[in-house]
């Protein structure tokens, strides 16, 4: 197990290294820091001198090492637009995105487990067929279209819920403001959360159903029936426990994936989170912010995947660690 | 010459199809038949878009700003104008929505199919090599596949396209957007194929017919492609349907974010994106009608994919 842990951490470090190289290559080629610094009115000689002073004429490797050294200390450059450290900008936007992901996760967990289990234990009931039918339609609708349709019906036509923004989130501590503290905040976050959950929810229902069906067909469940255990106990204690194991691992990875979908949801709802900020940064060619976003998101992906892999190795003793490189 | 054999030869292709397992299941499954009919209809309309469409949506001379935001002909709201010329109404530039949707579907389908062809080519090649060569090559390639899969395709595509757009400027980007889209969607999903193909190769490699082929002196490429690969045709087929649906959704999402097809050459995603801001002023059709077309297209492909998976029931790699 220890060897596996070390190998897995080494792999995570290697991936982060690759991401940082890509990020630096982008920074090196996108935009001109000198122009952002001094504008157009400085003579060519002064420019060259400044270039030398800033180390912009050094070799790629030298510049990369400087970049990596600063990045490890948490300095990812200064945003051209906000005129403050890029990491600070991102961290300020992070709570909004995390709350959105949290809201969507609550919806997904709250609905997918009961629905997935129900469709597995009562595969022929009409309700199960409706759920499966709706879930395949759900998979076929892109997130941004769900978001648009939600806005159209609930905000424009019915005027029940607000159509954009975060409203006035309640201040908690530091720069963390939450939408979960009062009714108005919940109203703001409801539609974006539903939109964000709409792509994962059908996938999870189908996944849980498939795993549950497989488990119900296994020998130990048949044995439990033969032993005369209560049906409910077999379903919810014996079968469900083993169903959820693969679901947890897939789910962990999907939390990383959801960060990608926040870009779409945040754009439609003008939610002031990281994703919305990233697209704005792209339009402004705010290179340090783009690079910082890339590194932060890459880190989130690597972190979730590593943790999920480690947990999986820990809770599932049947995992063949030697195959995974231990 | 036995009777049975001559019967077999006299059968038409259609009769053979009906007699086969696949054909029987198809003809007894209403959902599959309807999906197939809708899918074929959409594909035919998309392919013959230049013949069917009354206007050329790429030609600015055929657009008149005076015709903008016309409602579909059956929608007679109090503040809406209609024109029998424009069956589904017009968008904000006065472009006929029906023509734009035909051309847009064509683009979306083409990008989806080309991207999946690229995925399949990369994935199958890597899977074959990985499984056949084995050893260090195999573990390295599969590690790469794990890493590639751990990053969401959409995330990779958004960052790649955003940076490309910022690097080249939107003028150049828009001209080559279609190639960038195909490349990025095509490259980021290869592990799906690679894992499945590799699993087949590992299962088949030790069988006697492969030994026989080696003894006969066939080269490794011939053995891989002609002898081993045909065993994974049905899982590849199933994966491909799902992947085409996903690729179409990805393309639409990217175009919606302004990182895909430009408004002057709209795919379904860019049409939806272009109409989004007009939803607040009541012009729902600009967004909703292309949206419905997109959903129906993806839905029928997904339904066909589900049906195929049930029929062929290949042991798909659980990822």
Closest in A30, A148, A325 to B163, CB measured? A30
Is some CB atom of chain B closer than 8 A to the CB atom of A156? yes
> Is the residue at B33 inside a domain?
no
Given this model, what pLDDT does residue B77 score?
65
Domain range enclosing A259 = 86-323
Return all residues near B274 (Cβ < 8 A) that are at least 6 apart.
B91, B92, B263, B266, B286
Q: Which chain A residues contact residue B257 at CB under 8 A?
A: 144, 263-264, 267, 279
Q: Within chain B, where are the H helices?
A: 3-10, 13-19, 21-27, 30-47, 49-52, 97-133, 135-150, 153-188, 190-205, 208-215, 220-222, 233-256, 268-276, 285-312
Is residue A134 in a domain?
yes
| B307: contact with A, CB 8 A cutoff | no
* pLDDT band at residue A39 under the 50/70/90 scheme: low
Per-10-residue mean pLDDT for chain B, 319 residues long?
Answer: 54 72 77 88 87 75 67 66 69 78 90 93 91 87 84 85 82 85 89 88 85 86 86 85 90 87 83 79 78 91 87 53
Residue A121 lies in a domain: yes
Count of the separate structural domains present in chain A? 1
Its domain, for residue B144, covers 38-52+84-312
pLDDT tens-digit profile of A286-326?
888 888 888 888 888 888 888 887 877 777 666 555 444 43
Read off the pLDDT band of A234 (50, 70, 90): confident
Strand partners, A170: A178
Partners of A176 in the beta sheet? A173
Q: Answer yes or no: is the ipTM higher than 0.85.
A: no
Do B291 and A145 make contact, defined as CB atoms within 8 angstroms? yes
Mean pLDDT estimate for chain A: 80
B81 near B24, Cβ under 8 Å? no
Tell me, what's the pLDDT at B75? Answer: 67
Q: Are B151 and A301 inside 8 Å of each other by CB?
A: yes
Structure tokens at B213: 């082929």
With CA atoms as reference, the chain B residue closest to A280 would be B162
- What confidence score (pLDDT) does residue A319 get? 55
CATH code for the domain of A106 = 1.10.3720.10
CB contact under 8 A, B166 and A30: yes
Q: Which tens digit of pLDDT belongs to each residue from B121-178?
A: 999 999 999 888 888 888 888 888 888 887 788 888 888 888 888 888 778 888 888 8
Region A147-159 average pLDDT? 81
pLDDT of residue A243: 81
Q: Does B192 touch chain A (CB under 8 A)?
A: no
> Is A25 part of a structural domain of the chain?
no
d(CA A206, CA A216): 15
d(Cα B294, Cα A143) in Å, to the nearest integer?
A: 12
- Straight-line distance from the first to the last Cα atom of chain B, in angstroms, rounded to the nearest whole number: 50
- Specify if A68 maps to a domain: no
- pTM recorded for the entire structure: 0.84
Mean pLDDT, to the nearest integer, of A153-165? Answer: 76
Residue B52 in tokens: 């069917």
State mean pLDDT over A35-62: 71
Asked if the Cβ–Cβ distance from B245 to A163 is below 8 Å, we say no
Rounded CA gap, A312 and A245, in Å? 8
**Domains held by chain B: number:** 1
Is A142's CB within 8 Å of B253's CB? Answer: yes
Q: Does B191 fall in a domain?
A: yes
Of A54-68, A137-151, B40-54, B109-123, where does the model show the most confidence? B109-123
The verdict on residue B126 lying in a domain is yes
In a domain, B8, yes or no: no
Q: What is the pLDDT of residue B261?
A: 84
Only one residue has tokens 């002196």, namely B217
Q: Among A40-49, A89-98, B224-233, which stretch is predicted with the lowest mean pLDDT?
A: A40-49
Q: Which residues contact B218 (CB under 8 A, 6 or more apart)?
A: B226, B227
Considering CB atoms only, which of B154, B253, B302 is closest to A139?
B302
Is B159 part of the contact surface with chain A (CB cutoff 8 Å)?
Answer: yes
CA atoms lying within 13 Å on the CB side of residue A282: 24
Q: B163–A290: do the CB atoms touch at under 8 Å?
A: yes
- What is the CATH number for B138? 1.10.3720.10
Q: Is B299 on the interface with A (CB under 8 A)?
A: yes
E strand or H helix that includes residue A87 = helix A86-121
Among partner residues B152, B166, B279, which is closest to A256 by beta-carbon distance? B152
């Amino acid at each position: 197990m220890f060897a596996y842990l070390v190998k897995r951490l080494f792999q995570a470090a290697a991936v982060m290294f690759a991401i940082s190289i890509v990020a630096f290559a982008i920074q090196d080629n996108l935009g001109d820091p000198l122009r952002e610094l001094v504008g157009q009115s400085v003579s060519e000689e002064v420019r060259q001198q400044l270039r030398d002073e800033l180390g912009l004429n050094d070799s790629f490797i030298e510049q990369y090492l400087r970049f990596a050294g600063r990045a490890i200390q948490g300095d990812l450059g200064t945003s051209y637009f906000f005129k403050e450290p890029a990491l600070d900008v991102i961290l300020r936007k992070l709570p909004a995105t995390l709350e959105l992901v949290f809201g969507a996760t609550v919806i997904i967990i709250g609905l997918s487990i009961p629905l997935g289990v129900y469709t597995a234990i009562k595969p022929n009931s009409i309700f199960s067929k409706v759920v499966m039918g709706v879930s395949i339609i759900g998979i076929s609708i892109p997130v941004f279209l769900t978001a648009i349709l939600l806005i159209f019906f609930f905000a424009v036509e019915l005027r029940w819920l607000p159509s954009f923004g975060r409203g006035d989130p309640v201040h908690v501590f530091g720069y963390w403001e939450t939408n979960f503290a009062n009714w108005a905040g919940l109203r703001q976050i409801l539609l974006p959360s539903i939109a964000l959950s709409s792509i994962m929810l059908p996938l999870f229902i189908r996944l849980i159903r498939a795993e549950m069906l497989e488990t119900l067909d296994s020998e130990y469940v048949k044995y439990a029936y033969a032993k005369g255990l209560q049906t409910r106990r077999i379903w919810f204690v014996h079968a469900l426990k083993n169903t959820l194991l693969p679901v947890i691992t897939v789910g962990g990875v999907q939390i990383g994936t959801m960060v990608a979908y926040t870009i779409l949801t945040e754009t439609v709802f003008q939610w002031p989170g990281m994703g919305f900020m990233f697209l704005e940064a792209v339009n402004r060619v705010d290179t340090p912010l783009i690079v910082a976003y890339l590194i932060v998101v890459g880190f989130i992906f690597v972190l979730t995947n590593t943790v999920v892999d480690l947990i999986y190795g820990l809770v599932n003793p049947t995992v063949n660690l030697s195959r995974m490189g231990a | 010459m036995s009777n049975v054999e001559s019967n077999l030869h006299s059968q038409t292709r259609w009769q053979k199809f009906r007699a086969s397992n696949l054909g029987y299941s198809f003809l007894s499954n209403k959902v599959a038949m309807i999906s197939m009919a809708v899918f074929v209809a959409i594909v035919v309309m998309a392919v013959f878009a230049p013949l069917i469409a009354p206007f050329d949506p790429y030609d600015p001379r055929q657009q008149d700003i005076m015709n903008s935001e016309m409602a579909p002909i059956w929608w007679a709201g109090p503040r809406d104008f209609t024109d029998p010329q424009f069956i589904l109404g017009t968008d904000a530039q006065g472009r006929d929505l029906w023509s734009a949707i035909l051309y847009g579907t064509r683009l979306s389908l083409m990008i989806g199919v080309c991207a999946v062809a690229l995925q399949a080519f990369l994935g199958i090649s890597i899977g074959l090599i990985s499984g056949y060569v084995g050893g260090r090559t195999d573990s390295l390639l599969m590690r790469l596949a794990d890493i590639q899969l751990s990053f969401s395709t959409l995330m990779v595509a958004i960052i790649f396209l955003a940076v490309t757009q910022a690097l080249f400027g939107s003028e150049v980007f828009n001209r080559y957007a279609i190639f960038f889209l195909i490349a990025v969607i095509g490259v980021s999903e290869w592990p799906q194929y690679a894992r499945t193909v590799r699993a087949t190769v590992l299962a088949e490699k030790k069988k006697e017919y492969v030994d026989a082929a080696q003894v006969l002196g066939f080269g490794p490429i011939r053995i891989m492609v002609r002898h081993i690969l045909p065993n994974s045709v049905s899982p590849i087929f199933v994966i491909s349907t799902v992947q085409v649906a996903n690729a179409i959704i990805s393309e639409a999402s990217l175009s919606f974010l302004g990182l895909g097809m430009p408004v002057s050459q709209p795919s379904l995603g860019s049409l939806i994106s272009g109409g989004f801001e007009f939803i607040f002023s009541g012009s729902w059709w600009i967004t909703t009608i292309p949206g419905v077309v997109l959903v129906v297209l993806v839905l029928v492909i997904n339904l066909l994919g589900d049906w195929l998976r049930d029929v062929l029931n290949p042991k798909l790699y659980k990822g």
